Amino acid sequence: MNDTIKSVDLTDRIWNFFASVKLSVIVLLSLAFTSIIGTLIPQNKSSAQYIQQYGESWHGFFEAMNFYDMYSSWWFQLLLALLIVNIIVCSIDRLSATWKIIFPNKPIYKAGRFQKSNWRRSLSTTQGSEDLQKPLTHFMEKHYRHCRVEETDDGYLIYGEKGRWTRLGAYVVHLSILLLVLGVLISSLFGYEGHMNLPVGSTDNIMTLRHSNTRVQLPFELRCDDFSVSHYPSGRAKEYRSELAVIENDTVAVERSLIVNDPIRYKGFSIFQSTYGQIPGDTFSLVLTDNASGLQIEKRASIGDEIDLPGGKGTISIEDYVGNFNFRGRNLGPTYLSMLVPESGSPRPIVLPLQHANFDRMRGGEFTFSIKNIDYNYFTGLQISRDPGIPIVYVSFIIMLLGFLMTFYMSHRQICIEARRTSDTETTIFVSGISPNKRSGANMAVKRVAQKVDHLIKQNPNTQGHIR
């Protein structure tokens, strides 16, 4: 017996802990203050950089605290989880009470509350307040949702209420936060992002994922027809523009220019203009130097070509281009690889690095080869991403704004018009209003209603009166 009471007590206490606004204040401030750390310590850099910057001992401490990737650290995620639980529990905790206010069986009003209202005006009429009852009721019923008319000992009451639903505003905001977190979660679980360098004139459907170097095949191909970069007179970059085509099943699905800030969206993928660069193009000049005579011959060629050597001394074929060629442990940079097939004897590979024009001289052959006058070709650097969380995040933004408008700029308000016969000839009409959830706004509403009442009094030929 005692045990169950205790456990009920405990669950109650846990519930109340998570339902408290105090906890949300603490969690919100903790999130704010801990977030600062990640702006002071650069995130996701290499250990070497960190050690150099902070020294061994600080580095050990920072690493243990996950300060180098803090927004995905367990403790930061825990704070976020705490916020979510807090919002859910708190909202459930209060929703039933709010619900009863929004949908009561019958409108509750307490005359006493209106008499103490700060927003109260009175008007007197000399006669015919009964004649006013109808137009006033009509007016209230037109502008206020829940209206009641009541006869009193010395007159009547007209009561109206509206904007109950705006009390749901805070819940709408909290719901939007939950939706936002859901969207962000979906983004981080199912979203991915890759990169593709696409030379002008080529077509490709393979992108390399960020952070992992995994190659992924896209369900469509991209073709780059042109790339240009323009500059302001000062030399600043003005625009990067790729002429791009998205091709699916051999038909062009999209064909347009891609610039920064105007991505191509296709079937859940977004394609962004990200970087650009230049690579040696198809054609170049192969220079043959006859080492005996010093005579030079230059020939236009491209990869795959076979070129006859003068005097029928054999052929040289250009086989491949490598961005970074490794020669006996040394990086030679961009290099063409070719094969020399002499008239007699076995074929022999020839290395033609672009940055070392005299490299082939070392070989000491009959001819020395080198490459020059390369046609450079642009490639466009595309970023391709797929993020199914985005629609959810954007919907949460809209809901959040609606919730703000509801809580900040609308209010639940109640208006009471009370006609009281103060003497045989005089009736006083009181207009008062309250905002039960203590929002400003009732003030303006009362003013508007009072003006209307005043107007009705003046319009009625049997009455005359003045606002007091």
Partner 1 sequence: MIESTSIISYVTFIFGLSSLFYIIGWISKSNKANTLGTITMIIATIGSGSAFFLRWMETYWIGYGHVPLASLYESLIFFSLTIGVIYLFIEFRYKVRVVGIFAGLAAFLTLAYASLPSVGDQIQPLMPALKSNWLIVHVMTYFFGYAALTLAFCVSLLYLLKSAGKNTNEGILGRIPGFKTLDELTYQLVMFGFLFITLGLITGAVWAEQAWGRYWGWDPKETWSLITWLVYATLLHARLMRGWEGKRLAYLSILGFAAVMFTYFGVNLLPGLHSYL
Q: Which lies closer to ligand HEM via its Cβ, residue 10 or residue 101?
A: 101
Q: Which lies closer to ligand HEM via its Cβ, residue 85 or residue 149?
A: 85
Please report whether residue 21 would count as binding ligand HEM according to CB under 6 A: yes
Contacting residue, 174, 223, 412, 413, with ligand HEM by CB under 6 A: 174
Tokens describing residue 318: 């250009």
Please report whether residue 401 would count as binding partner 1 according to CB under 8 A: yes
Distance (Å, rounded) from C-alpha 454 to C-alpha 464? Answer: 9
Residues in 34-63 that interact with partner 1 by CB under 8 A = 35-36, 38-40, 42-43
Please report whether residue 25 would count as binding partner 1 according to CB under 8 A: yes
Torsions phi, psi for 184 (to 5 deg): -65, -40
Distance (Å, rounded) from C-alpha 340 to C-alpha 369? Answer: 10
- Which SS3 state, helix, strand or coil, does residue 362 take? helix
H-helix segments, 364-461: 390-409, 442-459
Choosing among ligand HEM, partner 1, none, which partner's interface includes residue 117 (Cβ < 5 to 8 Å by kind)?
A: none
Q: Which lies closer to partner 1 via its Cβ, residue 275 or residue 451?
A: 275
Please report whether residue 394 would count as binding partner 1 according to CB under 8 A: yes
Please report whether residue 74 would count as binding partner 1 according to CB under 8 A: no
Distance (Å, rounded) from C-alpha 247 to C-alpha 205? Answer: 9
Torsion sign over Cα 291, 292, 297, 302: negative
User: How many chain residues touch partner 1 (CB under 8 A)?
Assistant: 49
Tokens describing residue 319: 């086989």
Residue carrying structure tokens 């240009």: 228
Distance (Å, rounded) from C-alpha 84 to C-alpha 384? Answer: 32
Residue carrying structure tokens 């970069």: 229
Please report whether residue 34 would count as binding ligand HEM according to CB under 6 A: no
Please report whether residue 401 would count as binding ligand HEM according to CB under 6 A: no
Distance of CA 10 to CAs 17, 22, 91, 430, Å?
A: 10, 19, 20, 51
Please report whether residue 234 would count as binding partner 1 according to CB under 8 A: yes
Choosing among ligand HEM, partner 1, none, which partner's interface includes residue 220 (Cβ < 5 to 8 Å by kind)?
A: none
Choosing among partner 1, ligand HEM, none, which partner's interface includes residue 174 (Cβ < 5 to 8 Å by kind)?
A: ligand HEM
Q: How far is the CB of 384 from partner 1 (least distance, A)?
A: 8
Please report whether residue 396 would count as binding ligand HEM according to CB under 6 A: no
Q: Which lies closer to partner 1 via its Cβ, residue 226 or residue 262?
A: 262
Distance (Å, rounded) from C-alpha 408 to C-alpha 412? Answer: 11
Stretch that binds ligand HEM, among 81-89, 141-149, 368-376, 413-421 (CB under 6 A): 81-89
Please report whether residue 64 would count as binding partner 1 according to CB under 8 A: no
Contacting residue, 79, 136, 158, 170, with ligand HEM by CB under 6 A: 170
Q: Which lies closer to partner 1 via its Cβ, residue 8 or residue 78?
A: 78
Please report whether residue 252 would count as binding ligand HEM according to CB under 6 A: no
Amino acid at 185: L
Please count the helices (runs of H) and the strands (runs of E) in the chain.
Answer: 10, 23
Tokens describing residue 388: 């199914």
Please report whether residue 94 would count as binding ligand HEM according to CB under 6 A: yes
Greatest CA span in the chain, whole angstroms? 135
Choosing among ligand HEM, partner 1, none, which partner's interface includes residue 86 (Cβ < 5 to 8 Å by kind)?
A: ligand HEM
How many degrees, rounded to 5, is the angle at CA 116 between CA 111 and CA 122?
A: 85
Written as one string, the DSSP assignment of 36-89 is: HHHHHSPSS--HHHHHHHH-HHHHHHHHHTTGGGGGGSHHHHHHHHHHHHHHHH
What lies within 8 Å, CB to CB, of 405 at 6+ separation is 169
Q: Which lies closer to ligand HEM via its Cβ, residue 176 or residue 242?
A: 176
Choosing among ligand HEM, partner 1, none, which partner's interface includes residue 88 (Cβ < 5 to 8 Å by kind)?
A: none
Please report whether residue 272 would count as binding partner 1 according to CB under 8 A: yes
Residues that bind ligand HEM (CB under 6 A): 21, 24, 83, 86-87, 90, 94, 170, 173-174, 177, 404, 407
Residues that bind partner 1 (CB under 8 A): 21-22, 24-25, 28-29, 31-33, 35-36, 38-40, 42-43, 71, 184, 187, 193, 232, 234, 236-240, 259-263, 270, 272-274, 383, 385, 387, 390, 393-394, 397, 400-401, 404-405, 408, 440
